Chain A
Amino acid sequence: MLLRLAFRNIFRHFTRTFLTFLAIAIGLMFLIIIDSMLTGIDQESFDRIINYETGHIKIFDRGYREDEENLPLDKSIDSPGRIVKAVGLEPEVAGVTSRINFRIMLSDGIDQYPAVGIAVSPSDDEAVFLLKQAVTKGEFFFTASEESILLGEGLAEDFDVDVGDYMTILMRTKYDTFQALDLRVKGILKTEDPKIDWAAVVIPLGLGKESLDMGQGVTEIDIKIKDPARLEEFRDMLAQKIPALEVVTWKELAEDVLAIARAKRGGTSIMLFSIFLIALIGISNTILLAAFERTREIGMMAAMGMRRGQIVRLFVFEGAMIGFFGSITGCLLGVLLNIPFVKYGINWGILMRDVGDVGYRITGVSRGVWNIDTFVIAFVAGIVISALTSIYPAWVASRLEPTEALRKA
């Protein structure tokens, strides 16, 4: 009975109801879309960090991480073979490989540009990383000592080189002696990870060991595990087995990106709050106006024996109903708009290049995601908050004395 009354009431002032409803719907729609995009960027960034840079878990020499920025070669794992083999036998491990990271100066004889060198194993790298699949032009390495390089797409573009061209890489050996190699570009990498596409020069591990005077040493061992949910657990287990080395998860390595993601979550919450605040004021205003407009009506209802509680409930129902329709429409609009975002994504290319390195591993298109939680939260919150904000005007309305209310009109 009260519900039906409320339902009819909200249609009596269609324009006002419609505007409130629109505020809720559009607010929720934006919330859903923005959440989808941001979660998408996070997810893709994390995936790329894992797939191209860190794997799930890395093993370093003790002390490497203190000097990590300089990519020191003297803090190396000198006999990685034994560890790689032992780790590979762990049942939880999906793949293991080793790499050398080093600083280089890339030159075409005309210009030079600082970049990061990565020496990868042609046979095992794909057990952990997706670099091999990221070769868009040319080929991946066949042998560990072939004299060729893979270049990130951005670097290749900047130097205007293609597969088959020669580039010079200048680096320092483990003992800081200058080393320079003329290498043939064997492939171009397109990973969408700016740390690779704009800054990485990949060489085969054997060539790296030899030219950097590393002996058998590598700077890191990279591990992919079968169940990423057991990341920390596996790290602790491994750390216990090889106390001489440092075992870290990708989360520790990508701390900066995770921190940005967390900060952004904070930002999203503020946005969410603002959207609800706007909706809240809108609903509150609509109901309050309705209450004053309908003073006579309230007086009549009270005179006919309607109790205060019932009047309050009536108004709360009206608010909740506007909230309900707004939320449904908002969610539907969100779904509709999210479809192209998930399917085609947004191209951040120009923006990201201008902004520079902000930690996100996005170079071009980033896609949205279907985040069911957000839909549920948005939907429920839309109704609940609409209902809650109606309480105050409803309470004001219910306090009117029936006789006074009737006379007032």
Chain B
Amino acid sequence: MNFRQRGRNPRLNVAVPIITKKRKGAEAFSLRLLLTLSLCLFALPSVALTGEEIIDQVDKNMTFGTARTEAKMVIHVSGQERVKTMASYSEGEDKSFSEFLSPPRDKGVKYLKIGDNMWMYLPSVDKIIKIAGHMLKQSMMGSDFSYEDALESNKLKEKYAVQLVSQETIYIKFRRGTEEVTKARPCYVLDLTAKVKDVNYHKIRIWVDREIFVPVREELFALSGKKLKVMILGDVQKHGSRYYPRYVSMKNLLREDSLTEMIITDIKFDVRIPKDTFTQRNLKN
């Protein structure tokens, strides 16, 4: 059975194969009715959603007013592990200010993002560098995230056509503190296909947790359909009415043994952000 066809009509999701299997006789009919009804009832709150509605629900969790985050970035590359820690303030998705705290080599490196612009401050040369053009495509601090990934807007709906493809339970592997956790989560599978040409990824497939509406896995595809990167989000915690993942990993599939993990060690939402945080002057402070 084709995933795409199923996706077009989620209501028939499970009923369809049963019809094809048991076609003949009244028994089959009543069974089909019963099954359909029960499945509809069981799945009622979720099946009613379209892909776009699911994305809206996700946005409620993932977008916020202001936040202060402390995070650890673990870069795995060819068997080695590099750990960097950082603290950042963000306001909406347009503004953020991050400062690296360790290792000593990166201490004091700061990033400021305002809208589509990004600046970097390097304490070693005491210089503010605007990250533009070709630099945007480069890896950020040696990780599997590019600057673009950091700049990429979450307003996916504007650029992508969202389609609910299927529902499935997947296993997510993540780290909570030092322990490795594997969890099974029931998910919606959404396919986002670019409506416009100027996007980084032509197609994105997102697995959204069906119960709490947090994305748990994203696959990023090239125009040719080749899978390039896989992102895993885990260790979801509740903050007030919001669910937010504390673990994000990004794997570049074109490189062996490369994985970058971002582990949020502390996050506070709706904090008061000091005045002048999002200024270039603050980069040099």
Contacts and interface: CB of A to CB of B under 8 A. Distances in A.
Given A178-B223, A179-B224, A105 B254 contact: yes
B194 A180 contact: no
B256 to A, nearest CB: 4
A123 B238 CA distance: 63
Interface in A159-210: 168, 170, 172-173, 175-182
B239 interface: no
B198 interface: yes
A181 to B, nearest CB: 6
A177 B134 contact: no
A178 B254 contact: no
B16 interface: no
Contacts of B252: 112
Given A177-B197, A178-B201, A112 B222 contact: no
Nearest to A176: B198
A70 interface: yes
A178 B202 contact: yes
Nearest to B221: A178
A112 B223 contact: no
B223 A177 contact: yes
B83 interface: no
Interface string B125-141: 00000000110010000
Given A109-B254, A109-B256, A110-B256, A211 B200 contact: no
B197 to A, nearest CB: 4
Nearest to A211: B224
Contacts of A175: 197-199
Name the 5 nearest CB pairs between A and B, nearest first.
A175-B197, A180-B222, A107-B254, A180-B226, A110-B256
Interface in B241-282: 252-256
A177 B254 contact: no
Nearest to B223: A179
A126 interface: no
Contacts of B198: 175-177
Contacts of A180: 222, 224, 226, 228, 254
14 contacts: A105-B254, A107-B255, A109-B253, A111-B256, A112-B255, A168-B254, A170-B222, A175-B199, A177-B194, A177-B201, A178-B220, A178-B221, A179-B223, A180-B228
Given A105-B254, A110-B255, A112-B255, A168 B201 contact: no
